[in-house]
Structure 1
């Protein structure tokens, strides 16, 4: 057996009454990609956050190459040999690409108190070029780049100094095919160099394919470790939830007639460099799936339909003739939108669960034009519990929640608003199999109750399993359209994506 590189001994972390990590002892080996899996809130990210300096553990020790690691923050963690690529945005707006790559390490380019910006930019560009990201310019503001490109920059930031332990925390959910290929290259290079990758993902097929060993956490407790070659996805699901799980969580109906009533119409939608003359009609009680490769423009469609694209051309019109040109009009006319970029576009991350759920429904909660605190709390508790959000209470801040529980709050907000048209961009990104089933059931119930849904997704199985109609995009335009059918195959969709 390979030599132990990192030993975690009795790691414990609490958030109030919530025991997020419960005395976990675990070994990670040299030359290994070690997956860490579990349901949302199982403690995966909390465990690795204690290692990398995002959180401070309550007790226990991490020992790396015989030396204790006790990182005060992420930069300190880097100097001690550990790095993390997080699920959400991990770069800072307002700084250049180079400044983000070398954040906290500016001393490397400082002499006699003066920073040599040119040297830093040159080194950052050399690194970007070496990773094959030469189209990204070190001197550009980070804000000039989209969500996926910022994740690629984070890969460079976290790995250029060759950390002994690289934590990849749900990063693949933020990347398209190109980005995933690049990330997997970095992971395998890390392993082949005799270092270790701790890989967190809810995509169990991906976990089995990319990892050597898999450890399972459940409710903060270590359940066990298995070899990737010895298990299938059903085995992992059972370990995660403690019981057998059915794969039949998609819709089972076919050939159902969709209403002729059009509730929303987008005509000739164009956003420079994103969408080119895209049109769509959404019917009452219909789920439209929009898919394609990550850079195809589909994510911008959701923003455009919600009135959130400031430079949008074309029109979005409701059945009563209302034009949707801004977010307020969309919300006032019963349209909901959940962005792929949860932390920056769907949530107020430094506010409470209660405030996030109540925000779009404040006028509805008021009684005689007065907003009562007890009514806000009752409203938030009702819909947080309906989504089975794992929390201390609705007073808890969003920043303390796992990615999956943040997504539950996003959905709870719009269920509470009872919107008639729901635009969901990557609704199950970073969500475990059990919660996925709940979300799919919720969508099916909404459809049957006459709600209309646009689901934007990079998961082909999700499109095939849930949509009445699937629109495939390529280079900002529609490249294919398919009706729901048992005979429809993933290859039919892929042929129109590439």
Structure 2
């Protein structure tokens, strides 16, 4: 265990309220030099809130902070960054319409300006150095950020944060957006920062990850710090109990070996896309959970989009055999009772400025009409309230904007709109990304219940335990093709799956 140094950041009696919601309730915490401090708790427990206040993203309602022994109340994230506190936020932290270099130096363009003229060549060269500093060489600083996928945009954020070697490095649910190689890169940066007598605040829902990389774990529940646990006292069952205030049974996943119908409900017939898939074929059956796994560049995320008509299929076709319908766009997919949960929920699955109710109701515009003509307020309210209640979505009320919810509750809203629609085929891309242990357990149970009702599910995931735990059949992708097929009834062997991936 690393030797901890002097206190670098101290939080005293901090409270944060969002209207009637109490996000932080008299929180005290001290972060020392040389440590990796893990924060864990259920969605809405206050982890991101306390970290974002330290990083100047929002202000506390009351309480005080100290940084390097001095009172600390940053007016903005930019002020905190310039003072040595850098944070990688949970959701998208890049602007798609500007270049990679502009994203890296956002708010700090002065060093590249001479009068009104921007020296873009100099900025691009410095951005290249920033990327190389964290071990990334394949991203072109001159290109718009939108040219890169979710993982690469997250690497851009890491490069921006680490460019100035922050004294406090805050990592908020970042690993869920990264492949294994990206995660290893981030872990190296975290441990290097701690070894240089700086501090890391690491927020994650992955308990194994936290136990492996943290020196101390702070457990939060409902805005209150329940315990600070030192590395030598880490015990998974104890941490889970403290997180949720109750016993959590060890197995979240299916324990059955039930099969599925022989009826094919969805087919991909030798589909090829512009960049990812090459003559790719699959069949999904009624009542089947079909797992899709592989490394992040294997084409699995593009496959989900192609099956739902969100990515152009340049050859082959996606077919619903029962009706003979060819899925060419998302509108056709939706009208044929298909649903799609994107890995990137904030930009592709939700309207953040809209309310919880409006997001759920978005799938029920045809169902909630009176006389087939006018939207019925009563029907719409019932349609949304049913999902809020059954999924236990934590919100002040249904009119609360989705952007104010925690990551797990946002994901519940995404699930809710497709459950409300009673979709027969669900394509789930990383469905439990950024959600806590309790919400994961609920979602796995929900997926299993849908299977038992005869729904058909494609589960795309970068999490091996999730795929092994839930899939009836598992396809491993590599370079846009199936590189292995495995069946639940035969038993899954992790080493075999990994060999097919790499």
Does residue 462 of structure 1 match 2:466?
A: yes
- SS of the residue 1:360 aligns to: coil
Does residue 328 of structure 1 match 2:327?
A: no
Instruction: Check conservation: 1:128, 1:134, Cα contact below 8 A.
Output: yes
Q: Distance in 1 between matches of 2:404 and 2:56?
A: 15
Q: Return the offset for 1:311.
A: 5.0
- SS of the residue 1:215 aligns to: strand
Match of 1:419 in 2: 423
Q: Return the offset for 1:398.
A: 1.3
Instruction: Check conservation: 1:69, 1:80, Cα contact below 8 A.
Output: no
Match of 1:154 in 2: 157
Does residue 399 of structure 1 match 2:396?
A: no
Q: Distance in 2 between matches of 1:229 and 1:290?
A: 37
Q: Return the offset for 1:486.
A: 6.5
Q: Distance in 1 between matches of 2:172 and 2:134?
A: 20
Instruction: Check conservation: 2:43, 2:406, Cα contact below 8 A.
Output: yes
- SS of the residue 1:362 aligns to: coil
Match of 2:282 in 1: 280
Instruction: Check conservation: 2:274, 2:312, Cα contact below 8 A.
Output: no
Match of 1:472 in 2: 476
Does residue 213 of structure 1 match 2:216?
A: yes
Task: Give a deviation string over 1:9-63, Cα, whole Å, max 9, x none.
Answer: 1111111111011111101000010000000111111111112222221111221
Instruction: Check conservation: 1:250, 1:440, Cα contact below 8 A.
Output: yes
Q: Distance in 2 between matches of 1:306 and 1:112?
A: 49
Q: Distance in 1 between matches of 2:65 and 2:378?
A: 44
Instruction: Check conservation: 1:12, 1:23, Cα contact below 8 A.
Output: yes
* 192, 196, 220: which one aligns with 1:193: 196
Q: Return the offset for 1:96.
A: 0.4
Q: TM-score, normalised by structure 2?
A: 0.97
Q: Distance in 2 between matches of 1:220 and 1:391?
A: 15
Q: Distance in 1 between matches of 2:9 and 2:33?
A: 8
Task: Give a deviation string over 1:183-236, Cα, whole Å, max 9, x none.
Answer: 111111111111111000000000000111000100011111001232122121
Match of 1:441 in 2: 445
CA gap of 1:486–1:6, structure 2 versus 1, over 3 A, is farther
Matches for 1:3-22 after TM superposition, within 5 Å = 3-22=6-25
Match of 2:361 in 1: 358
Match of 1:35 in 2: 38
* 21, 43, 55: which one aligns with 1:52: 55
Instruction: Check conservation: 2:130, 2:160, Cα contact below 8 A.
Output: no
Q: Distance in 1 between matches of 2:491 and 2:340?
A: 31
Instruction: Check conservation: 1:208, 1:229, Cα contact below 8 A.
Output: no
Q: TM-score, normalised by structure 1?
A: 0.97
Q: Which moved more, 1:488-497 or 1:333-342?
A: 488-497
Q: Distance in 1 between matches of 2:240 and 2:339?
A: 32
Q: Distance in 2 between matches of 1:227 and 1:288?
A: 40
Instruction: Check conservation: 1:109, 1:116, Cα contact below 8 A.
Output: yes
- SS of the residue 1:376 aligns to: helix
Task: Give a deviation string over 1:128-180, Cα, whole Å, max 9, x none.
Answer: 12322111111111111111111101000111101111110000000001110
Q: Return the offset for 1:80.
A: 2.5
Q: Which moved more, 1:81-90 or 1:194-203?
A: 81-90
Q: Which moved more, 1:50-59 or 1:274-283?
A: 50-59
Match of 2:230 in 1: 227
Q: Distance in 2 between matches of 1:21 and 1:259?
A: 49
Q: Return the offset for 1:433.
A: 1.1
Match of 1:302 in 2: 304
Q: Distance in 2 between matches of 1:113 and 1:187?
A: 38
Q: Distance in 1 between matches of 2:421 and 2:451?
A: 16
Q: Distance in 2 between matches of 1:56 and 1:398?
A: 20
Instruction: Check conservation: 2:64, 2:72, Cα contact below 8 A.
Output: yes
* 122, 125, 147: which one aligns with 1:122: 125
Q: Return the offset for 1:377.
A: 2.5
Q: Which moved more, 1:153-162 or 1:111-120?
A: 111-120
Q: Distance in 2 between matches of 1:215 and 1:156?
A: 27
Match of 1:271 in 2: 273
Q: Which moved more, 1:68-77 or 1:427-436?
A: 68-77
- SS of the residue 1:279 aligns to: strand
Q: Return the offset for 1:363.
A: 1.0
Q: Distance in 2 between matches of 1:487 and 1:448?
A: 20
Task: Give a deviation string over 1:443-492, Cα, whole Å, max 9, x none.
Answer: 11111111000000111111111111000001111000011036322112
Q: Distance in 1 between matches of 2:55 and 2:381?
A: 35
Flag structure 2 segments of 5+ consecutive residues without an equivalent. Answer: none
Q: Distance in 2 between matches of 1:332 and 1:72?
A: 48
Does residue 431 of structure 1 match 2:435?
A: yes
Match of 2:110 in 1: 107
